[in-house]
Structure 1
Amino acid sequence: MQVGADRRQEAGFLAEQAVVPPTAEQKPHYLGHRDRLRERFASAGHSALPDYELLELLLFRLIPRADTKPVAKALLARFGTLAEVLGAPENLLREVKGIGPAVALDLKIIAAAAQRMLRSEIKGRETLSSWTQVLDYCRAAMAFEEREQFRILFLDKKNALIADEVQQTGTVDHTPVYPREVVRRALELSSTAIVLVHNHPSGDPTPSRADIDMTKEIVEIGKRLGIAVHDHIIIGKKGHVSMKGLLLI
């Protein structure tokens, strides 16, 4: 009968299917890439990796189940450099595809840890002999802020850093600074010298007329009370300017 033949044929087909071993699940392609990238970092160090690969290494932990290379490249395409990625505000980080609130927050935690590390390198040390570290710290802390900040580094008699404070935060192009308050705070901390620092969110660190006038006023008030102003540094995204270097102090 035809029905019996159909059933035998179906039974044979099922038996044939049963003896075929199940196909092993393929591992995601990015897992091998992650292993290779970790090995390169372990053997050659961070200098052997371009920014996007170092950023990938960070994202491995933050995004464990996805290909992070496109995300790393998208971040760099949006912000420019690894430093600018870490310095970017959380709300802008979240605009990049693949970056959610948790990952954006984790990137800011990494940035904060890096800033803390740089600050520890100058804390208690003779600041003027560690000027490169001072500039590195100020750049990491302020270069990519969206609003102007006015920061003061308070030094002791040996020019060692005793305090680092953001005294004012302003708008995109202005921060209100009160020279007498700057000097008053130095006296409270028994500081005998200060370094003034502020950022220009526009990216151009050229001092404005207002910057110059305000600095000269702080210098004059400080002189009368035995507080020296070693420098006023203006930080931009691509560099910095020293007012002392420009002979404005």
Structure 2
Amino acid sequence: MARFGNAASLYFVDLHELTEIIHDPQQAAKLKAILQIAAEIGKPTTIEHPAIKNCVDLVHYLQATMGDGRVESFRVLFLDAHNRIIADELLWRGTVSEVQVYPREVMRRALELDCSAFIAAHNHPSHAVLPSQADIEMTRRLLTAADTLGIAFHDHFIVSSRSYHSMRFHRSIDPWG
């Protein structure tokens, strides 16, 4: 805990790194299993379909669920016509500096869920939340795909445990400008 700060950060440590710290592969595997079980127990058994009420609550949620990630990950909140969450899905995990996103797969999942809108988010383990050119281009591709299918793309957030960047609020993308 002293090295990683909190249990949420420890959850994202891979088994190889745990083994280097604990020096016992079996004990490291047991700890990883306990962390995974604890994460499952902490998940709600039913989804209440809460409405997204404001940006602050959404950002806090995203920071809590992915801000401490040690590799970049990409999640999508699929919403109904009243902005209630239909599904919150972590679609991809990448490396410490990038995550590959496939707009076709995001749209396929949106259509499967019959959603009206979605919010995308990914984390930056470096804590530097300004979008890269690749982040901007990927957001443009998602906007084009969503627009073509008549699905509202509300925003794309880049988060860390310390900060966030809203592509829409900061007008990082022309169509949102």
| Global fold match (TM > 0.5) | yes
Cα distance in structure 2, aligned partners of 1:111 and 1:195: 23
Gaps of 5+ in 2: none
With the length of structure 2 as denominator, give the TM-score of the two structures: 0.78
Aligned to 1:214: 138
Task: Give the % identical residues.
Answer: 37
Task: Choose the corresponding residue for 2:49, options 124, 138, 147.
Answer: 124
Q: Which amino acid aligns with 2:99?
A: T
* Deviation digits for residues 136-193 of structure 1 (CA, Å, limit 9, x no counterpart): 3322332233322221111011111111222222222222222233223212211110
With the length of structure 1 as denominator, give the TM-score of the two structures: 0.58
Please tell me the root mean square deviation across aligned C-alpha atoms, in Å: 2.8
| Change over 3 Å in CA distance of 1:176–1:226 after alignment to 2 | same
Task: Choose the corresponding residue for 2:5, options 80, 88, 106.
Answer: 80
Aligned to 1:7: none
Aligned to 2:105: 181
User: Larger helix proportion, structure 1 or 2?
Assistant: 1
* Deviation digits for residues 33-67 of structure 1 (CA, Å, limit 9, x no counterpart): xxxxxxxxxxxxxxxxxxxxxxxxxxxxxxxxxxx
Asked which structure has the greater RCO (Cα within 8 Å, sep 6+), the reply is 2
Q: Which amino acid aligns with 2:61?
A: Y
Task: Choose the corresponding residue for 2:70, options 146, 153, 156.
Answer: 146
Q: Which runs of 4+ in 1 moved over 6 A?
A: none
Cα distance in structure 2, aligned partners of 1:146 and 1:86: 9
Aligned to 2:122: 198
Cα distance in structure 1, aligned partners of 2:41 and 2:54: 20
Task: Choose the corresponding residue for 2:35, options 95, 107, 131.
Answer: 107
Instruction: Please give the secondary structure, in 2, of the residue aligned with 1:221.
Output: helix
| Change over 3 Å in CA distance of 1:240–1:109 after alignment to 2 | farther
| Preserved contact between residue 87 and residue 140 of structure 1 (Cα < 8 Å) | no
| Preserved contact between residue 155 and residue 193 of structure 1 (Cα < 8 Å) | yes
| Change over 3 Å in CA distance of 1:130–1:108 after alignment to 2 | farther
Q: Who wins on radius of gyration, i.e. which is larger?
A: 1
Q: Which amino acid aligns with 1:105?
A: A
Cα distance in structure 2, aligned partners of 1:135 and 1:113: 23
Q: How many pairs align? A: 170
